[in-house]
Amino acid sequence: MRWPQSASEQDSSLYSPYGEVYGGTGSSQTSFGFTGEPTDANGLVHLICPQRLNQ
Predicted confidence at residue 24, as pLDDT, reads 81
Tell me if 33 sits within 8 A of 24, measured CB to CB.
Answer: no
**Which backbone phi and psi does 25 adopt, to 5 degrees?**
-130, 155
pLDDT tens-digit series, residues 13-28? 888 888 787 888 877 7
Domain residue extents for the chain = 12-55
**How much is the pLDDT for 31?**
78
Please measure the distance between the N-terminal and C-terminal CA atoms of the chain and give it in whole angstroms. 36
Q: What angle do CA 39, 42, 44 make, to 5 degrees?
A: 45
Angle at the Cα of 30 from the Cα atoms of 28 and 31, rounded to 5 degrees: 105
Each residue's pLDDT tens digit, 28-45: 777 777 777 888 888 788
